[in-house]
Amino acid sequence: MHPIPFNRRSFVISSAAAGAALLGARRPVSAALADKVRVGVIGIGGRGMGSLVEIEPSGGSIVALCDVDERRGAEARSKWPTVSFEKDFRKLLDRKDIDALLVATPDHTHFPAAALGLDAGKHVYCEKPLTHTVEEARILRNLAAAKGLQTQMGTQIHSGDNYRRVVEIIQSGLLGDIKDAHVWCSKSWGGNGRQPAAEVVPEGLDYDLWLGAIQPVPYSKEYVPFNWRKYWAFGGGTLADMGCHFIDLVYWSLNLDLPTRVAAEGTPVSEFTAATELTAHWDFAARDGRKPVKLHWYDGGRKPPVEGMLKWDNGVLFVGEKGMLQADYGRYAFLPQDKFAGVKLPEPSIARSKGHWKEWLLAIKGEGKPLCSFDYSAQLTETVLLGTVAYRAGTAFNWDARNFQASEPAAQALIAKTYREGWSEKLSGFKQYLKA
């Protein structure tokens, strides 16, 4: 196994992993965990099913299924007919036969399920983006740290070999100092600016539970089960949907933390729906020997205004003082290509992942630490969601991360949301972790 490159983030990860291993050696593991981690899965259609099929091969045991929609849950229930099923995830929180929760619901339910799960002593895996609001991301990071539980965000590509190789190249200094990074995605999770007309809730769907903690919105088939991504009430458009996947590569490679300034522009802002086209910009201060960096995002068909790029639908472009590197999930290329012909690449230095789900399950049993644990992925999510805030607020703003304050009131007003009666008392109580 090769050593991880020595930078601040790598040191933190390797030190934490070593500490976790020592802790696991000193602390007896329960009889249940010595065998398999017992997992309850919240949201078992679509992305949830994609994770469900990974749990048992990765060393876990599925002991509970949960979904508000009986139709969406039918396939999973047929595959695991002896496993208990619930519609309300809160019924899983006090169960002693559940060690961990996997959350694969729409964005607006991520925080309630993850926060309540952590508070109940459950380890948590949550799909991206980690939360629906900036405030929720900060709280979840601090809550997970306070509880000392193992966490992982579902940016599965982080565990792929190509991302690791790009990180090694960027951190080797082969391109020199990186001054700009551009990220683009061809998807367009935007809407027409209008809220759909109310419709009759179909049989089998508990729409009140689907809404969960948010303020009531009349049902429309436009929302459930997929197009909720277009609507601010439930999602955050293309940036929130895909930003954590692609921006992750920049975040990891450049050891970013939180931005100091954020701006965005796109199609006309709507109260209800996300942009069909969006460009966002973040400024990051110098850190640990790295110079200041500017990060740019483009979606809905927009592309970076940089000459010499390869014509890919999605990608990441690192602009360094000695050249550029373009990458996506499974490939990378140096630009200009003739300049880097025959270039000597750095030796591999980042160990291959044992698997994105397996990292989490092994960590629960005392072996290592997931690379997308909430101490990392919550900051990535906070950064991504600050871009949606800048777009919706219609103004650039400075971000005082230490004091959790935007310089513009219109932006600050979008940092958090108000939960509805029946949920607000418990969820608002987690604000104690906001500045922990």
105 touches 124 (CB < 8 A): no
State whether residue 293 is helix, strand or coil.
strand
Contacts of 57 (CB under 8 A, 6+ apart): none
- Which pLDDT score is estimated for 8? 33
Angstrom CA distances, 69 to 88, 101, 204, 291, stand at 10, 18, 6, 49
Element (H, E) at 85: strand 84-86
- Which pLDDT score is estimated for 35? 85
- Which pLDDT score is estimated for 268? 97
Amino acid sitting at position 367? E
Give the C-alpha separation, 248 to 179, whole Å: 17
- Which pLDDT score is estimated for 32? 52
Calculated CA dihedral for residues 60, 62, 98, 83, nearest 10 degrees:
-160
292 touches 301 (CB < 8 A): no
Instruction: List residues bridging with 327 in a β-sheet.
Output: 316, 332
Q: Which two tokens stand for residue 39?
A: 């997992």
Sign of CA dihedral 340, 341, 343, 348: positive
In the DSSP assignment, the letter for residue 436 is: -
Nearest to 175 by CA among 314, 328, 335, 330: 335
The pLDDT tens digits along the chain (436 residues) read 232 232 333 323 333 333 333 333 333 344 455 589 999 999 999 989 999 999 999 999 999 999 999 999 999 999 999 999 999 999 999 999 999 999 999 999 999 999 999 999 999 999 999 999 999 999 999 999 999 999 999 999 999 999 999 999 999 999 999 999 999 999 999 999 999 999 999 999 999 999 999 999 999 999 999 999 999 999 999 999 999 999 999 999 999 999 999 999 999 999 999 999 999 999 999 999 999 999 999 999 999 999 999 999 999 999 999 999 999 999 999 999 999 999 999 999 999 999 999 999 999 999 999 999 999 999 999 999 999 999 999 999 999 999 999 999 999 999 999 999 999 999 999 999 998 7
Cα 28 to its chain centre, rounded Å, is: 32
Report the predicted TM-score, pTM, of the whole model to 2 decimal places.
Answer: 0.92
Cα 287 to its chain centre, rounded Å, is: 23
138 touches 162 (CB < 8 A): no
Which segments of 183-236 does DSSP mark as H helices, in order?
A: 207-211
- Which pLDDT score is estimated for 436? 72
Give the C-alpha separation, 419 to 434, whole Å: 16
Amino acid sitting at position 112? P
Count of Cβ atoms closer than 10 Å to residue 371 Cβ: 23
- Which pLDDT score is estimated for 435? 86
Structural domains for the chain:
8-157+354-373+419-433 (3.40.50.720), 159-191+234-351+382-412 (3.30.360.10)
